[in-house]
Amino acid sequence: MWKKIIGQIREYKLPAILTPLCMLVEVAMEMIVPYLMASIIDDGVYAGNMNHILKIGLYMVFAALIGFIGGILGGRFASVAATGLAKNLRKSMYDNIQTFSFSNIDKFSTSSLVTRLTTDVTNVQNSFMMVLRMAMRAPASIIFAMCMAFYINARIARVYLVAVIALGIVVFTIICSATKVFRKAFPRYDKLNESVQENVTAIRVVKAYVREDEQIDRFRKASKGIYDIFKKAEGKVVLNMPIMQLTVFSCILVISWMGAKMISVNDLTTGELMSLLAYCMNILMNLMMLSMIFVMLTISAASAERIAEVLDEESDLKNPENPVTEIKDGSVTFTDVSFAYNYERGGKPVLENINLDIKSGETIGIMGGTGSSKSTLVSLISRLYDVTAGSVKVGGVDVREYDLETLRNSVSVVLQKNQLFSGTVIDNLRWGKQDATYEECKKACEMACADEFISKMPEGYDSKIEQGGNNVSGGQKQRLCIARALLKDPKILILDDSTSAVDTATDAKIRSAFRSRIPGVTKFIIAQRISSIQDSDRIIVLDNGRIDGIGTHDELLKSNEIYREVYESQTGGARDFDETEVV
């Protein structure tokens, strides 16, 4: 995991290497200063040698200046390396997410992916910066200070050694206890982001149903969950400081007592005692810093695991070694097709034994009740999912043998949930074809009956579309999405309930335009409205993932009970409703 994370440093390796080197320079200068101070006291102040004081004082200033420069450069290099790592992690995660199939995306919630791209990356960034600076600085300071202390007086230095070992054991115990609590925080972040995302996305629904208080309460609970976890964890971590202070003051007392006795018998000088006290503070405070590094590493380890999960995830859908890059026509053949979501984890089939032979240029209507897998069926054509069993062929070739980009450029899909992006009308249309001319966009919009309302907008095709298309109606959004799909000049066009918000007259105009202007394109129209599909060449009736009937409108009225019941309910041909039948 860490190898994969650190591998994202890439072009920021040099700053990452220079940071600890600069920290070593800073530490070395810090270790020299107390030693030089001892010389000033013993050989300058007590001896009354002003020249020695000035000379050693200049050395101290020089050492402090070098250490200061080392610290500044170390901080700068660490910032560059850490922010660079965060940038690369976000880019690599985002790039990999773009390769995911629908089944890959199903494994992660949207809120979880947002948390991983933001909070988790920030945790790793902060931890990496601390490691670059303090993971080298703190151990080096402890080692250097300990060596200097033993060099000055080994007997007193043993006090440090005992204190470091005892303090290390206590701190390690505290950190291990706290890390178990910290790990529980990240799933709570996912819940918090989920609450925010749903509220902001569905803000109109929230206000329409006056559910602001309920949403506020939901957010408060998610936020308090994170608060409680961090409160508990920090409650353990804060024990570090009083234990550290107790150890520091105890060491100072012991060293002062031992040092005073040794000074009285000339086994130690006053300057040396001052240096030893400085080294004592340095050792113990750096040990405290080391403990905080462990806390940060523990928090970031959980984040790193979540980031690595996204980086390691490979798309279930891959191009074959020698993909087919040309599609002959829009014919579609389903042979013994079955499909199940999460099949590897025991998912039950939602489509079973589907056999269809559709000629290029045919218009196929698809209808069925909610949950009958209409959308799943057409998703297999553009290989948004792979079949569990059987095969789907387009143009006589199994879709798994095509280059994915070639296949999806030839199959235009207007999904059930229409999505527009912030920008202009023409920007959104050019999602279908990046280099589409104004005339091409207008032609597609005329076919989708969108030109009539676009021309009435203040700036026409240059009018702004808000994020999510919130400044256009549902019907207008659907027509823009249809026009966008038509710009791809596809061999197969799939409309997944894409005219549900369009009035019947406009719906009829769109279907008429399809018949006259794109007769060679194979069209799949999923609809709940019989009028939207009754003039199709054939209509497929799905029921619980199986084909219940297939034929023309007239044939199904005679032979298929499901189709006939829907038709009668929509046209008023059913018997009168009897309230006494309701239980």
Farthest-apart Cα atoms in the chain, separation? 119
Q: What is the mean pLDDT of the chain?
A: 85
- Taking residues 556-568, what's their average pLDDT? 92
pLDDT digits (tens, 9 = 90+) for 87-112: 999 999 999 998 887 778 777 877 78
Determine the Cα–Cα distance for residues 272 and 220; give it in Å rounded to an integer.
Answer: 57
Is 580 a residue whose pLDDT tops 50?
A: no
Per-residue tokens: 109: 């919630």
Compute how many other C-beta atoms are within 10 angstroms of the C-beta atom of residue 466. 12
- Taking residues 468-475, what's their average pLDDT? 82
- Taking residues 42-55, what's their average pLDDT? 81
Look at residue 430 in the predicted model and tell me its pLDDT.
93
Burial 413-447 (b: 16+ CB within 10 A, else e): bbbeebebeeeebbebbbbbbeebeeebbbbbbbb
Look at residue 555 in the predicted model and tell me its pLDDT.
93
- Asked if 84 and 13 touch (Cβ cutoff 8 Å), the reply is no
Look at residue 245 in the predicted model and tell me its pLDDT.
75
Among the ranges given (53-62, 179-188, 370-379, 485-494), the one the predictor scored with the smallest mean pLDDT:
179-188
Q: Which of 527, 487, 485 is nearest to 507 (CA)?
A: 527
pLDDT digits (tens, 9 = 90+) for 224-278: 888 888 788 777 777 777 877 787 778 778 888 888 888 877 888 888 888 888 8
Among the ranges given (191-200, 313-322, 535-544), the one the predictor scored with the smallest mean pLDDT:
191-200
573 pLDDT band, cuts 50/70/90, is low
Look at residue 422 in the predicted model and tell me its pLDDT.
86
Look at residue 541 in the predicted model and tell me its pLDDT.
95
Determine the Cα–Cα distance for residues 249 and 272; give it in Å rounded to an integer.
Answer: 18
Determine the Cα–Cα distance for residues 346 and 438; give it in Å rounded to an integer.
Answer: 50
- Taking residues 437-460, what's their average pLDDT? 91
578 pLDDT band, cuts 50/70/90, is very low
Q: In this prediction, what percent of the chain has a pLDDT beyond 90? A: 34
Look at residue 165 in the predicted model and tell me its pLDDT.
80
Look at residue 145 in the predicted model and tell me its pLDDT.
81
Look at residue 276 in the predicted model and tell me its pLDDT.
81
Look at residue 576 in the predicted model and tell me its pLDDT.
43
Look at residue 487 in the predicted model and tell me its pLDDT.
92
Greater confidence (222 vs 13) lies with 13
Look at residue 574 in the predicted model and tell me its pLDDT.
46
Residues 6+ apart with CB under 8 A from 258: 155, 156, 159
Rg (C-alpha) for the chain, rounded Å, is 36
Determine the Cα–Cα distance for residues 268 and 273; give it in Å rounded to an integer.
Answer: 7
370 pLDDT band, cuts 50/70/90, is confident
Place of tokens 């200070």: 145
Is 123 a residue whose pLDDT tops 90?
A: no
Rounded to 5, what percent of the chain is helix, strand, coil?
65, 10, 25
- Taking residues 168-181, what's their average pLDDT? 75
Greater confidence (226 vs 327) lies with 327
296: enclosing H helix or E strand: helix 270-312
- Taking residues 460-483, what's their average pLDDT? 87
Look at residue 186 in the predicted model and tell me its pLDDT.
67
- Asked if 8 and 91 touch (Cβ cutoff 8 Å), the reply is no
In terms of DSSP bridges, do strands 492-496 and 546-551 run parallel, antiparallel, or are they unpaired?
A: unpaired
Is 581 a residue whose pLDDT tops 50?
A: no
Burial 331-352 (b: 16+ CB within 10 A, else e): bbbbeebbbbeebeeeeebbbb
Is 75 a residue whose pLDDT tops 60?
A: yes
Sign of CA dihedral 248, 250, 252, 255: negative
Distances from the Cα of 530 to the Cαs of 73, 358, 510, 525, 534, in angstroms?
A: 72, 20, 15, 11, 6
Look at residue 7 in the predicted model and tell me its pLDDT.
86
178 pLDDT band, cuts 50/70/90, is confident
293 pLDDT band, cuts 50/70/90, is confident
Is 577 a residue whose pLDDT tops 60?
A: no
Greater confidence (360 vs 238) lies with 360
Is 399 a residue whose pLDDT tops 90?
A: yes
Residues 6+ apart with CB under 8 A from 478: 414, 418, 498, 499, 500, 501, 502
DSSP state of 538: E
Greater confidence (389 vs 225) lies with 389
Residues 6+ apart with CB under 8 A from 235: none
Compute how many other C-beta atoms are within 10 angstroms of the C-beta atom of residue 54. 12
Is 184 a residue whose pLDDT tops 70?
A: yes
pLDDT digits (tens, 9 = 90+) for 329-358: 999 999 999 999 877 777 789 999 999 999
Place of tokens 């387009």: 394
Strand runs labelled E in 347-415: 349-358, 363-368, 389-394, 397-398, 411-414
- Asked if 502 and 482 touch (Cβ cutoff 8 Å), the reply is no
Helices 121-130 and 50-99: angle between axes, nearest 10 degrees: 150
Among the ranges given (15-19, 205-209, 301-305, 437-441), the one the predictor scored with the smallest mean pLDDT:
205-209
